[in-house]
Amino acid sequence: MISASILQGTELAIEPRYQAQLDQLLADCRAQLVAVDEELIRKAFRVAYWAHRNDRRASGEPYIAHPLAVASLCVRHIGLDDVTVAAALLHDVVEDTEVSLDLIRDTFGDTLAGIIDGLTKISGAFESRALGQAENVRKLVLSMASDIRVILVKFADRLHNMQTIESLPKAKQVKIATETLELFAPLAHRFGFFALRSELEDHALRVLNPEVFDQIVRGLREAKKDRDAFVDRFIGPIRDRLRSDGFDFDIYGRSKNLFSIYRKMKRQNKPLEEIYDVFAIRIVLNADGKKGKEDCWRVYSVVTDLYKPLPERFRDFVSVPKSNGYQSLHTTVLGPEGRRVEIQIRTREMHEIAEKGVAAHWKYKEGIGRSDEEMDQFLNWVRELLEAPKADHATEFVKDFRLNLYDEEIYLFTPRGDLLTLPRDSTPVDFAFHVHSEVGFHCIGAKVNGRMVPLSHRLNSGDQVEIITSKKQTPNPDWIKFVVTQKARSRIRQWINEKRRKAAELGRDIWEKRSRKADLDLTEAEMQRIATRLRFANTQQLFYEIGVGMYDVNDLVNFARGTRTSETPEVESVQDQYESFLDTAQSSGSPALMIDGELHTDIATHYAPCCNPIPGDEVFGYVSRSGAIKIHRVNCRNAPSLLINQPDRIVPVEWSRQKDVQFVAALRVVGEDRVGILSDITTVISKNLKTNIRSITIASEDGIFEGTIVLHVSDLAHLRRLIDRIKRIEGIHGVYRFEQEVETG
C-alpha cells in the first residue's frame, strides 16, 4: 500500500503553483462533468506527485506538470468522467516510477488499474517502427485497449506532448510528429474528435514543415483585419433575419485548421491566397432533436435567400451522417464582392459530437461491439440519440463500458518492425508459415519480446516475434494440433504427404530390384491384386511400408511366388478393425505378462524402437517372421497400418507386474540454451529421481537447445514423474515422450 500520509497528503510538500493547478482542474471537473469524486482525483494527484517527485521533463520543469496538463485536456477535450481524469494523473506512474501496477490496484481498485495497465501496454504499440502500416497499428491499438478511456487518455497525453514538443531534439520531434500525423490524427478522426484532430495536425505541421506553417500563420494574420471586417458584413443580414424569425443561435466566423489549408494547397496545387480566401462561417442552433433538424433546414433556406448558393458545394450530413457520427449541413455561397463563404449549419448536440466525437455520447452507452459492423451500429445509435432526450448519468454507464474491437485478430511485429495480422490464438508456427513456408518448415523455436517461448505458445497483440530456424528441423505432425492458420495446417500436411510419397518411391525401388533378382515380372494390375489380398489399401501403401521398413520385401516376394488366386477376400472396415482392437487392448489388470490371454514365458519379446513402450502404456504384440513378438504402443505412429494390414500377425498383450525390470524410454527436451541447464536436467534425473541415464544427445542453435535423453524407467508413472520434474526446471519449454521419426533415407 502507498502510505496513508501520502494518500492524505499530510507528508507531501506540494508546491503552491501545482496546488493551484489542481484546484483549477477540480473546478473544471465540477463545471464539465456530471458527477465528480473529488477525493479520487485528489488522491490520484498526490500519488502522482509523490511518485514523480524526482522526475523532470525534457524542458526541465517538474514532471507533475505533464500529468496535470493531460488531466486538464481530458476534461476540456473529452469531458467523460472522473475516472478518466484520475487515470490521466496516474498515466505515467507505472511506466516511469517505482510505483507498481499492483500498488495502483490496491490503492485505486481494478478499474483504474486496468486503464493504467492498458496505457502502459499501448505505449509499446506506438513505439513500434511500423509507420506506413497505420491502419494496422490503429487496429492494434484498439485491440489492446479494452477500456475506451485508455484511448482517451492516450490522445490527451499525445496532445500535450505535441504542445511541448519543442524541448526535444529535432530528430525526435520529427519522429513523434510523423507518428502523430499517421496514427493519432486518423484515429482521432475515426472517433470523431475533430477539434483534437486538427490541433494534433497543426502541431505536426509546425514540426514537419515549419516554413509552410509560418507562411500560413503569417498570411492569415496579415489578412485578419480585412477578413474580420468582411465576415461582419456577411454575418449581419443573416443574424438580423434569424433573430426576427425567432431562432436561438450562435453565428461566428471560424478559423480554419492550418493543416487542412496546407492539405488543400497541396491537393489543389493552389497558392495560399486562394485557399484562405475561402471564408468559413458556422451557425449553431440551440434546438434539440427533430425540431433541431428541421430548424437546420429552415436556417439553410434563410441563408440561401440572402446569398446565392453554389449548388455543387452542398452536402447534407444531417440526413446522412458520416460514419463517425458527424452531422451538419454544408453549403458554399457567394458573399459580397463575389467572395466564397463556406457555411456549416448544425444543432448544439451535433456540434458537441463534432467537437468531442463519440465521447460526447459514451455517457449513455453500455458497451460497443467487436466488429466494424457493430461499431457502425454503435454510431447509428449515437445518431438516434440526437433525437432522444438527454440523459445525465455519465459514470453509471461508463463503468462497464468495454471496447472490444478487432479481437478476432492479433497484430504482431517482425524483428524489423513490420506488422503482420494473424487470427487470434496464433502460435509461432503460424507466424513462421505466414512469413514464408521455408521459415515454417525449419522453425525450431521463437523469441517473443526477447524471451524464448515454446512453438505452441499463443501470441498476443503487440508481440514482437522472432523465429529461430535450423536446417535440420523438419515439421512435426504434432504441430497440426496447435496451429490455427489454414496456411500452416495445409503446408504441414503437404510436407507429411510428400514424405510418404518419397517413402513409397523408395519402397517401389527396393521391390523392383528384389523382384528382378527373383525373376518376378508382375504387371501393375497383378501388384494391385496382391496389395488388396495382403489387406493394404493400395500399392502405394504397400510400397510405403516397404520403404519405411515396416513390411519385409521378402514376405512380398514369397507371397507373389506362391499365390495366383484371383479371389479377393471381403475386407472389414478399416476403422472397425482398429477400434475393436483398441477395445481388447485396453482391458488390463492381469497379474503377469499375458500374450493372447495366456501366460507364455517362453516366447521372446522385444520392445519396438519406434515407440519404446513401458509398463502402463497400452500395447499390442506383432509377431515377426522369426516368431518373436514385438511390443508396440497402441498410439505408436506405426500402429494403424500394422493393425489394419497384418491383422493375423497381431496378438493382444498385457503388462505383468514384474518388479525391478527397467525399460528404455526416450524424452525430447526443448529449452533455452543457458549455462548450467544440462547439469540441472541430469541432477533432477539421476540424483533426485535416482534414474539411470543411458544417453544424452544435445543440439543447440540460436539460443535454443534440443536434447534427446534415453533413460531406464520402471513404468509409465515413473516416466511421468520425470517429465513433470524436468518441466519445472527454469528455461525448459517442453518435454515430450520421444517417438522416433519414420526414416525415409
Question: Interface with Mn ion by CB under 5 A: which residues?
Answer: 92, 157
Give the nearest distance from C-beta 67 to Mn ion in angstroms. Answer: 7
C-beta separation of 339 from 227 below 8 A: no
To the nearest whole angstrom, how small is the minimum distance from the Cβ of residue 92 to Mn ion? 5
Q: Which residue lies nearer to Mn ion by CB, 175 or 489?
A: 175
Q: How far is the CB of 70 from Mn ion (least distance, A)?
A: 6
Taking the complex as a whole, how short is the minimal distance between the CB of residue 732 and Mn ion, in angstroms?
39
Q: Which is nearer to Mn ion, 82 or 92 (CB)?
A: 92
CA distances to 319, 579, 597, 661 from 657, rounded to whole Å, are 83, 26, 15, 10
Active site residue 95: yes
Q: In sequence order, what are the residues at sequence separation of 6 or more whose Cβ sits closer than 8 angstroms to the Cβ of residue 221? A: none
Closest CA to 164 of 96, 69, 91: 69
User: Residue 227 and residue 215: Cα distance in Å, rounded?
Assistant: 17
Give CA separation, 594 vs 622, 623, 654, 686, in Å: 14, 14, 5, 32
Q: Smallest distance, Å, CB 65 to Mn ion? A: 11
With a CB cutoff of 8 Å and minimum separation 6, the contacts of 146 are 114, 118, 402, 403, 404
Contact between 261 and 275 under an 8 Å Cβ cutoff? The reply is: yes
Angstrom distance (rounded) from CA 528 to CA 514: 18
Residue 36: count other Cβ atoms within 10 Å of its Cβ. 20
Name which of 52 and 733 has its Cβ closer to Mn ion: 52
CB of 191 to Mn ion, least distance (A): 19
Residues in the chain: 745
Nearer to Mn ion, 50 or 155 (CB): 155
The closest residue (CB) to Mn ion is: 157
Residue 58 or 217: which CB sits closer to Mn ion? Answer: 58
Strand partners, 631: 607, 621
The residue among 126 and 314 lying less far from Mn ion, judged by its C-beta, is 126
Name the minimum Å distance from CB 94 to Mn ion.
11
Taking the complex as a whole, how short is the minimal distance between the CB of residue 88 and Mn ion, in angstroms? 9
List the catalytic residue out of 37, 95, 352, 526. 95
Query: Cα 658 from chain centroid?
Result: 52
For the bound state, the minimum distance from the C-beta of residue 705 to Mn ion, rounded and expressed in Å, comes to 42
Closest CA to 262 of 223, 220, 227, 221: 220
Active site residue: 96, 127, 232, 294, which one?
A: 96
Cα 513 to Cα 57: distance, rounded to the nearest angstrom: 82
Contacts of 648 (CB under 8 A, 6+ apart): none
Closest by CA to 545, choosing from 638, 648, 643, 649, is 638
Nearer to Mn ion, 157 or 430 (CB): 157
CA 331 to chain centre: 43
- Quickly count helices (H) and strands (E) in the chain: 33, 21
The span from the CA of 490 to the CA of 506, in Å, is: 24
When the beta carbons of 41 and 64 are compared against Mn ion, the nearer one is: 64
DSSP string over 285-348: E---HHHHHHHHHHHHHHHHHHSEE-GGG-EETTTS--TT----EEEEEE-GGG-EEEEEEEEH
**Whose Cβ is closer to Mn ion: residue 95's or residue 505's?**
95
Alpha-carbon torsion (362, 368, 372, 373), positive or negative: negative
Residue 316 is a catalytic residue: no
The one-character DSSP state at 376 is H
Residues designated as active site: 95-96
